[in-house]
Each structure stands twice: as C-alpha cells, then as structure tokens.
Structure 1
Amino acid sequence: MAQRRAAPILDRRTFLQLSGVSSAAIALGIAAPEAAADESVNVPDGVFGLGVASGEPGARSVVLWTRLAPEPLAPDGHGGMPLRPVPVRWEVATDESFRRVVRRGTVVASPELAHAVHPHVDGLQPGREYFYRFTAGRQVSPVGRTKTLPARGELAASFSFATASCQAWYHGHFGAYRHMAAEELDAVFFVGDYIYEYGITDANLWRQGATVTPEHAVEIETLEQYRLRYALFKSDPHLQAVHALAPWIVTWDDHEVQNNYGADGSRYGVSPEHFVHLRAVAYRAFYENLPLSLSTLPDGPDAALYRRFDAGSLARFNILDTRQYRDAPPADTDDQYDERRTMLGPEQEQWLYDGMIGSPATWNVCVNGVTVAAITEDRTDQWDGYPAARRRLIDAMQQSTNPVVLTGDIHRHVAAELKADFADPSSSTVGVELICSSIASDGDGSPTDRYTPDWIQHPYVKLYDGRRGYVHCRMTPEELTSEFKIVQWIRADADAPLETVARFVTRAGTPGLEKQG
C-alpha cells in the first residue's frame, strides 16, 4: 500500500506568525463591539465590488460574508483597500426594504484576512427567508437573500437546491449562473473547483471579450496570488447574483490548491516542505473568500471542512472532503485493491457512517468531490482508485435510507445508479449519484465526446452530456426530482438560453432513476 508522507509540522502558532494574522483579527471578523461602528470612517468608493454572500445555514443561524474590495483586481491581492482595519455593520431583516430588522451587529474587516468578514447570525426562525446587507462608512452593499433550514425534526414539505462545480472563469462566461439566479432555491451546493490555479494566457483565455493583466499569467503559489484569483472569478456579476440569492454550502476538490493533489502530496514534483505551505495559503484564501463558519478556519495546512446540515427530518447533507485525507495514488493494481486504502481517512469515514446509519432523515445525501460510481480502473483520482473504500461507503448506504450522492469534477452531466456490486449490474440499486457538469471549465462542450463510451458502457449510467450547466433538485417526503440543465455555449457570451436535457424522479423507498418525458 502506498504510504502518505509525513508533512512537516506547521502548527497554528507558526502559521499565524508566518502569515501575519492574529487571533484578534479572526475574532473581530466574526463579531465586534457595537462601539466599533463608525459612519464617518473613510473607505474608498465601490468598496462592495465583490458582492455579498451567505452560507452555513442552520435552523436558527446563518453566516454572512463580504470582502471589501473597491479594486478587486489590484495586483497585491488586497483589493484596493488601505492596510488598516475597517468597521463594517450588518443587518438582517424579514423584508427586502429593511423595515423589519431582526438582527444587527458590527464586525471589523482586517487586512490580515483580505478585509473579508464572516459574521455569524443566530436567533433566527427556522425555515424562514431573510434579507441582509452591510454598511462600511456611508456605503451600503447590495441586498442579499438567505434562508434558514427547517426546524429539527420537522418534515418539510419540500426543499429545493442547485449543485454547481468547476468554474474556470477564463474558459467562458457564467451563463449557467445567469439562469440559476432566476431559480427559487433554498440552498446552493458547490462541490469543488471554485477557482483554478493555472496561469491564464492566450492559450486558455477562451472567454471572448475578456482580458487579464500579466499577474494572472503565472501558476498560483502565494497567498496574494490566491486572493487575486478568487477576486477575478468573483468579479463575475452572475456568480455574485447567485451568491446573493441563497445560502451556499461548499466543499473543495483539487484546483483550489493544485490539480490532482491528495493529502500532503503534489502530482507535479513540489517538495513536501513547499507543498504544505502551498496548501496552507490555499486553504486560508478559500476561507477568506467564501461564506464559511469559524469551525472551517484553517489551522495551518489543515482545515476541518467535513460537516453536516440537517434540513429538518427531510434531508441530511453530509459535506465530504475527498482531498485532505486520501491515500496516495495506487502504485499498482495490488495497491489499488488494498483493503486499507482510504479516500476519506479513518476519522472522516467513521463520522460519515455514524451520521448515515440510523439517520432520522428521509433522504441521506453525500456532497462529494469526485465520482463514486465505478467507471474504469484507470480513473484512480476518483473512487475507482479506492474500491475498498467505495465498498465500505456502499455498505453504509445500504444501512441508510434513500442515499444520494452529489458530485462534480468531471465537467459532464451524469446520472447514475449506485449498485451493491458494480461488477454485477443486475445487483440491487442502493442509491443514486447526480453529477453536475461544469459552470465553465472546458468551454462550450458537446453532448458527446471521446469519454462518452467509458461511461455509457454501464447500464447503471442513465445520462451523459458534456455541455455546461447545473443540476436543480427538489426533495419532498415522497420523491426527489433532479433536472439536468445546460446552456449550448459560454465562450461567446452569457446569453445562451437554458435547456433541461433530462429529468429524473427517485422515489423514496425505491432507489433508482426514473426518466421523465
């Protein structure tokens, strides 16, 4: 069995010293004394250039986010902000005009965290729509909409969400997000590759009408470069609109750090000593730029990203981290089938199985970075490279109710049934996997491509489409409806119409995919 290399020790204190961030700066970005608010503070015009967002919803709480950046693409990664703390006020209301404000507070945007803030708002009502905004000096942010989850034990009538992944800004316009912004959603699940680390050059800049400055032409290595790359992607107005539409629940895949990395290992020859620092700054930029709770704040090169959200008793969402704890790629076939190999690491595996087996939820969902269904043995970056770990996952699913896997990564829409034994397609169906295509990665795409035969050779794969888009899902106590939506082009502009290429129904108590229409 291939062994993971021991990472150099980079403890929290050392990392904080290296990066210049203090515990006080972190705490003030969550909550600050009301006395910190000051309308007279001078901030540059257009300070909310990266929009607003919410995430990490609970039945009575939510995390809000903004990052002050009047010049989002300033080369130093600080968004055009002066290198001093800035007080920011926030408000949450039950109406969009803010006549009925129910919560308000103050946070401090510090240069140590790229002037990002993550106020945690509690004391809200379950299953309720809210509106929020920020104020810095006399500037007021755009208004965002968010929603809390149903109360614990409540069997909600329905829960609607979209899944998205793989948004290589330079490969095309975010037309899929333009349409998603018009959906009625309780949440958005982002399943990986929020940014890409590659240098942006004439060879891969396919987004027509777009230009970038030379700072973007190099592969990312520093915290400032990661911050700048997030700012570039987040400058898209359609992405900002979807962030302002509904709370996001996010996980990562590989490109938030480096292509195909796993645990402490780079696939591109980066030394362990360098790679552990690369992972630390990448994880920190991920936290800074997304609406994440304090529990996910990186401790150097480590971050506790796996977590759980219950939409009452209707659905349990297990958010997985399939990068940080995985074993190295298999050295050979014997290694690949070693019973000890793990994708999630022992602790995360046990946490997942404990949460699935005996779960009170009608639907039990794994929000996951890479494909679970068996496709080909040479796809070792997916669960195909970890067949023993996959079998353990399938075993746990069989002891759960109505398991569903949400996945991204492959830049294609795929709907697959998960089998008790993938070597025997006639074996029982355990659950379903809904794989969303990319938002932009790989350009326009096409319905079929050179990978199509690998996937459709399996009778349990019910859909394969290589165009850009997202998946819209609606859960009820009786069924899950999944709609695979695409746009025909993205390279030219964001104006392509939306199409639903397939619609499936999965009945509660009867795992499988029934194609509709």
Structure 2
Amino acid sequence: MRLAVSLVGLTLVLSAVAGVAVAVAVKDGVGFQYGVAAGEVTATSAKLWTRAPVAGTVTLTVVEATKKPTVRTFTLRAAQANDLTVQRVVTGLAPSTEYRYTFAQRGSGGASAPGLFRTAPKASANARVRFAISGDADATPGPNGRPGFNNFETYGQMAAEGNDFNINLGDTIYSDSEIAGAKPALSVPAKWAKYKLGLALPALRRLRASASLYSQPDDHEYINDFSVPEFGRPLYRAGVKAFTDYAPVSWKPARGFYRTFRWGKNLELFVLDERSFRSAKVAKQCANDLAPTGPSAVRQAFSTLVPSLANPVVPGCIAAINDPSRTMLGGAQEKRFLAAIRASNATFKVIVNEVPIQQFYQLPYDRWEGYAAARTRLLKGLGGVENVVFLTTDTHANMFGEVRLQTLEGPPIGTGIWEAVTGPVATNTYAKEIDAVIGAKGTGDFITSLFLKPAPPGGIGMPCAATDVFSYGQVVVTGTKLTVTPKTSTGAPVREKTGAACAPLVVPAR
C-alpha cells in the first residue's frame, strides 16, 4: 500500500506544481469503478467520498494545488455495512483554494481516478460564484438493458461548465421508477443498487469528480410523494442510510438534511429539508381533484379538456389544504431557517428548494401549494429579507416565475421573490406526465401554452415555461445581480414549444 500511496501522492504533487491535469501513475480508477466525490464544501473543509473495491483499509491523499503544495493522507476503512463506501471530512483547508484528491487500496487495482474541488471564499470576499443545478435522474434500465431515459448527458454538461460547485437536488435515484416492470427499491441494499446504476454512467462520475457537489434527497430516494406519516419511519431510515452512504452529505436526527453554506460576500445557500418533518398530504381528502384550489372560472374553462373539473371540489378539501397545523418543514426547521436567513448578510440568499413554491394549481398536494398555511407563513416570514431566490427541481420542467401570495384567487399579490424551477436530468418530463394523467397526447403542451404562459387572470404568467426538455440551470452570482440561465443537456438555450428561447432570470441586487 505504501508504494501505491507514494506514487499517487508524488503524481498529485507534480501535477499541482506544474498546474496541469492530474494523471495518476498507477492504474487509474480500475478498482474504484464508481468514482469519487467532494461534498459539503466550506471555506475550510470538505467531505470526500469513494466506494472501495473490497473491504479493508483505504488511503485518502489530498493535495493543495499551489506552488508549494502540501500533501495530507488519511486512513479509512471500507466495510460491508456501508456497502464499501468511505467518507472523510478534511478540515484546516485554505479558502478559495483548489484541491486534488485520490483514494488507494493495495491489491485492489491501485488508485481511484482523481477528484477536484475548490473551497469557498471567505465570507468577506467579493467573489463571483458560478454553479449549476438540476435533479430528477433515473438510471433504471429499460427492456433493452440500457438506461430507460438517457445517459445523464445533463450531468456531463454541468461538469463541462467548469463551475465552482454544482447542486444535485432531489430524486438522485428513483426507488420507484416509471420504467415498466421495474420493482420498487424499498430496502437499503436495493437502494444501494439504484445508486450504483447511476454511478455506472460516466457523466455522473465526471460531475462528481470535476467540482464539489451539494446533494439533497427528495421523495424518490424513499418512494413517490414520501412523508413519514404516510409511509413510515422504517422506509425513511432506509432512504437516509442509502443516501448518506452514496453522497458525501450531512444528516442529523434533529436537523435532517437542513444545512447552510456560505460562498463569499455575495452568496449563502439555504438547503431546506422538505421530507423529514412534513405532515401527510391531503390528496385523499380532496379525492385527488386535479386542481382543487383553482378558481371556479378557471376550472370551468378547462372542463372541456378535463371533465372532472366541472364537478365541485369535495367538502373539506380546501379546509384540509389550508389547515394551519400542517407543516412542510416542521416547526424547529422553519424557525431555524427563518432566523438564519434574516441574520444573513450575504448579498443573495438562495433557497435550495425541493418542491416548487410558486402557484400553478395543478395537482398541488405534494408541493408547497398543498400546504397552503405553511407556505403563507414562510413567505410572510421572508418579508423584508432582500435578494431571496428559490432554486427548485422536482417538477421536471423549467418554470420561472414570481412567488405570489395569490395569483388567480383575486388581484395578484406578489412577494418580489422569484423562483427558477429546472430539470429533469432523466425521467418523464412534466408535459409527458400531464399527457399520461389526462390520457391524451399533447395535453401537457396545451396547458403550458394556454395556462402557464398567459398573464393573470387568464393564466399564471410565467416568463419561462418549457415543460418537455432535459435541462439544468446555470447560475452566476455577483455583487450586483444573480442570473439563472436554463440550458439543455447539450448546453444550448432551453426553448419553449413555440421555439422561443427562455430568457435568463436576472435578479438585480437591492
């Protein structure tokens, strides 16, 4: 082992000094087939991850990419209890500094392919920050044995951006895939297998190795539309265990996956946990009405397309949606988050948000709209906080819009807060899912063009509503503005069905 580690360390040092790409002198990643990852990066620390070929000792080597690099090594142990995954939090790092790292295990194929990450700037640094965000990625194979949707090309394009970091937001596996015949993954070993399906695709490995990656689960790490009251704590524990084994991420019983990360003077990320503490949905109380909160005029206008909308909403449905005792975040997280974001002196406060918070009325039960009192309470709690932006996935579409207290219930009441929804990486798009629910091809496009795009009171008035494209959001933050540019899996501009490109969302600093 000493020989392998010394060769790796020497190569990393020489590469750092020369300022060239790392080229490991031993077998490059032969045994470490699932790659490496860096997560939870701060100005002075990072959590580094790999999956070892076999159980036993693993050596991690970290090199600071400077003219006088320091080499640090750590001894880890791979065990079957964690499916051979190992992680180490490395502290004492320098801010705004590039690091390279690799793992090695004697007798198992040498060393891993190298990984790269950059630490965050100091909180006082007036730094320009670039990152990309997407989510919703299903690698489940179809009948031909290949991934049923695509090869995660979106992740590969995100890696090609050369960002400071990236965000993989929710549904990083599909425990219950929409691929016909796929069995639900409900146990920890079955979920481990799902993560390995995704990591078998080179694009995801490139993303994880190219820069640090903040990872967050949503429902499909457990099961569709998950909440603990509906599906039980054993399934929750299985989802947490498998996710924290395969992503370098922090979880604590009292905080769940809620975390914050500071990137210089201009950016603080607030990563909300919207699964661990939420109340049960009220879809059953509403008889799964497709648009229970839609005003009567809107329901009637679309009843020719969806006849059930001509029926009245079942008694008790709206009261259940508006029940103030129901919560999305849980009382402790909501209080902690609002206190933290009010206290933040970052120019932009970016809320990394698992499910959409803007209103679009269709099947609201799993989104913030389905927890109406909690939604209103949160938005009012954000009143007076400057430069707040929500970045969201989950809906399998690009939907840019203002987060309003009301949109169609009367004159629109805005908050001045904007949300950019983006994705997916690899699953059915929003338009195709609407087609499946209604049972008519083209319905999703019809609703997008005639309801999501038109301004109130006839529609939502989204500046960007592209609901049938694999995509990500490319984000640039400076001291004067935050810009979200929606891009396709090839890096091209996201276009609506009309052919018009979605303009970037530009939020000026106030």
> Which TM bucket (shorter chain)?
0.7 to 0.9
The one-letter code sitting in structure 2 at the alignment partner of 1:128 is T
103 and 38 in structure 1: CA distance in 2 versus 1, 3 angstrom threshold: closer
For residues 411 and 90 of structure 1, the distance between their equivalents in structure 2, rounded to whole angstroms, comes to 37
Aligned residue among 68, 72, 87 for 2:52: 68
User: Is 1:304 paired with 2:256?
Assistant: yes
User: Is 1:399 paired with 2:400?
Assistant: no
Structure with bigger helix share is 2
User: Is 1:188 paired with 2:166?
Assistant: yes
By relative contact order (CA 8 Å, sep 6+), the higher-ranking structure is: 1
Q: Which residue of structure 1 aligns with residue 477 of structure 2?
A: 475
Q: Which residue of structure 2 aligns with residue 449 of structure 1?
A: 445
Asked if the contact 1:314–1:477 (Cα under 8 Å) also holds between the matched residues in 2, the reply is yes
178 and 425 in structure 1: CA distance in 2 versus 1, 3 angstrom threshold: farther
Q: Which residue of structure 1 aligns with residue 137 of structure 2?
A: 167
- For residues 323-362 of structure 1, the aligned pairs below 5 Å read 323-330=275-282, 331=285, 332-362=317-347
Secondary structure of 2:336's aligned partner: helix
For residues 428 and 281 of structure 1, the distance between their equivalents in structure 2, rounded to whole angstroms, comes to 40
For residues 307 and 507 of structure 1, the distance between their equivalents in structure 2, rounded to whole angstroms, comes to 24
Unaligned residue ranges in structure 2 (runs of 5+): 7-26, 140-147, 286-316, 433-441, 495-500
Secondary structure of 2:503's aligned partner: strand
Q: Which residue of structure 2 aligns with residue 125 of structure 1?
A: 94
For residues 303 and 427 of structure 1, the distance between their equivalents in structure 2, rounded to whole angstroms, comes to 32
440 and 256 in structure 1: CA distance in 2 versus 1, 3 angstrom threshold: same
User: Is 1:52 paired with 2:36?
Assistant: yes
Asked if the contact 2:260–2:270 (Cα under 8 Å) also holds between the matched residues in 1, the reply is yes
Identity %: 27
* Cα offset, 1:390, TM superposition: 1.1
Calculate the TM-score normalised by the size of structure 1: 0.76
Q: For each residue in 1:44-92, what CA deviation from the matched residue of structure 2 results, as whole angstroms up to 9, or x when unmatched? A: x9321000000101111111110124xxxxxxxxxxx4xxx41111122
Q: Which residue of structure 2 aligns with residue 234 of structure 1?
A: 199
* Cα offset, 1:443, TM superposition: 6.6
User: Is 1:111 paired with 2:76?
Assistant: no
Stretch moving more, 445-454 or 105-114: 445-454
Q: Which residue of structure 2 aligns with residue 283 of structure 1?
A: 240
Q: Which residue of structure 2 aligns with residue 498 of structure 1?
A: 492
For residues 200 and 398 of structure 1, the distance between their equivalents in structure 2, rounded to whole angstroms, comes to 39
- For residues 345-494 of structure 1, the aligned pairs below 5 Å read 345-376=330-361, 378-422=363-407, 423=409, 426-442=412-428, 449-452=445-448, 453-457=450-454, 458-465=459-466, 466-487=468-489
87 and 482 in structure 1: CA distance in 2 versus 1, 3 angstrom threshold: same
* Cα offset, 1:199, TM superposition: 5.7
112 and 246 in structure 1: CA distance in 2 versus 1, 3 angstrom threshold: same
Asked if the contact 1:66–1:118 (Cα under 8 Å) also holds between the matched residues in 2, the reply is yes
User: Is 1:253 paired with 2:253?
Assistant: no
Q: Which residue of structure 1 aligns with residue 65 of structure 2?
A: 95
User: Is 1:223 paired with 2:223?
Assistant: no
For residues 395 and 482 of structure 1, the distance between their equivalents in structure 2, rounded to whole angstroms, comes to 24
Asked if the contact 1:472–1:483 (Cα under 8 Å) also holds between the matched residues in 2, the reply is yes
Q: For each residue in 1:120-146, what CA deviation from the matched residue of structure 2 results, as whole angstroms up to 9, or x when unmatched? A: 111111122211111111611111111
Q: Which residue of structure 1 aligns with residue 125 of structure 2?
A: 154
For residues 363 and 351 of structure 2, the distance between their equivalents in structure 1, rounded to whole angstroms, comes to 24
86 and 200 in structure 1: CA distance in 2 versus 1, 3 angstrom threshold: farther
* Cα offset, 1:337, TM superposition: 0.9
For residues 146 and 280 of structure 1, the distance between their equivalents in structure 2, rounded to whole angstroms, comes to 30
Q: For each residue in 1:77-130, what CA deviation from the matched residue of structure 2 results, as whole angstroms up to 9, or x when unmatched? A: xxxx4xxx411111222339x983443211111111111111111111112221
Secondary structure of 2:92's aligned partner: coil
Q: Which residue of structure 1 aligns with residue 274 of structure 2?
A: 322
Secondary structure of 1:160's aligned partner: strand
200 and 413 in structure 1: CA distance in 2 versus 1, 3 angstrom threshold: closer
For residues 309 and 372 of structure 1, the distance between their equivalents in structure 2, rounded to whole angstroms, comes to 21
For residues 446 and 34 of structure 2, the distance between their equivalents in structure 1, rounded to whole angstroms, comes to 38
393 and 101 in structure 1: CA distance in 2 versus 1, 3 angstrom threshold: same
Asked if the contact 1:445–1:467 (Cα under 8 Å) also holds between the matched residues in 2, the reply is no
Asked if the contact 2:122–2:263 (Cα under 8 Å) also holds between the matched residues in 1, the reply is yes
For residues 36 and 506 of structure 2, the distance between their equivalents in structure 1, rounded to whole angstroms, comes to 34
Calculate the TM-score normalised by the size of structure 2: 0.77
The one-letter code sitting in structure 2 at the alignment partner of 1:329 is K
The one-letter code sitting in structure 2 at the alignment partner of 1:172 is N
Asked if the contact 1:397–1:431 (Cα under 8 Å) also holds between the matched residues in 2, the reply is no
303 and 391 in structure 1: CA distance in 2 versus 1, 3 angstrom threshold: closer
Q: What is the CA RMSD across the aligned residues, in angstroms?
A: 2.9
Asked if the contact 2:347–2:509 (Cα under 8 Å) also holds between the matched residues in 1, the reply is no
Secondary structure of 1:480's aligned partner: strand
Asked if the contact 2:32–2:50 (Cα under 8 Å) also holds between the matched residues in 1, the reply is yes
The one-letter code sitting in structure 2 at the alignment partner of 1:327 is S
* Cα offset, 1:365, TM superposition: 1.3
For residues 220 and 428 of structure 1, the distance between their equivalents in structure 2, rounded to whole angstroms, comes to 41
The one-letter code sitting in structure 2 at the alignment partner of 1:311 is W
Asked if the contact 1:473–1:481 (Cα under 8 Å) also holds between the matched residues in 2, the reply is yes
* Cα offset, 1:459, TM superposition: 4.5
276 and 429 in structure 1: CA distance in 2 versus 1, 3 angstrom threshold: closer
Asked if the contact 1:223–1:282 (Cα under 8 Å) also holds between the matched residues in 2, the reply is yes
Asked if the contact 2:102–2:111 (Cα under 8 Å) also holds between the matched residues in 1, the reply is yes
* Cα offset, 1:196, TM superposition: 0.5
507 and 276 in structure 1: CA distance in 2 versus 1, 3 angstrom threshold: closer
Stretch moving more, 440-449 or 394-403: 440-449
Secondary structure of 1:57's aligned partner: coil
For residues 482 and 376 of structure 1, the distance between their equivalents in structure 2, rounded to whole angstroms, comes to 24
Asked if the contact 2:58–2:78 (Cα under 8 Å) also holds between the matched residues in 1, the reply is yes
For residues 491 and 45 of structure 2, the distance between their equivalents in structure 1, rounded to whole angstroms, comes to 36
- For residues 26-45 of structure 1, the aligned pairs below 5 Å read none
The one-letter code sitting in structure 1 at the alignment partner of 2:94 is Q
Asked if the contact 1:376–1:454 (Cα under 8 Å) also holds between the matched residues in 2, the reply is no
For residues 56 and 285 of structure 1, the distance between their equivalents in structure 2, rounded to whole angstroms, comes to 17
For residues 119 and 412 of structure 1, the distance between their equivalents in structure 2, rounded to whole angstroms, comes to 35
- State how many pairs are aligned: 424
Q: Highest CA radius of gyration, 1 or 2?
A: 2
User: Is 1:137 paired with 2:106?
Assistant: yes
Q: Which residue of structure 2 aligns with residue 262 of structure 1?
A: 227
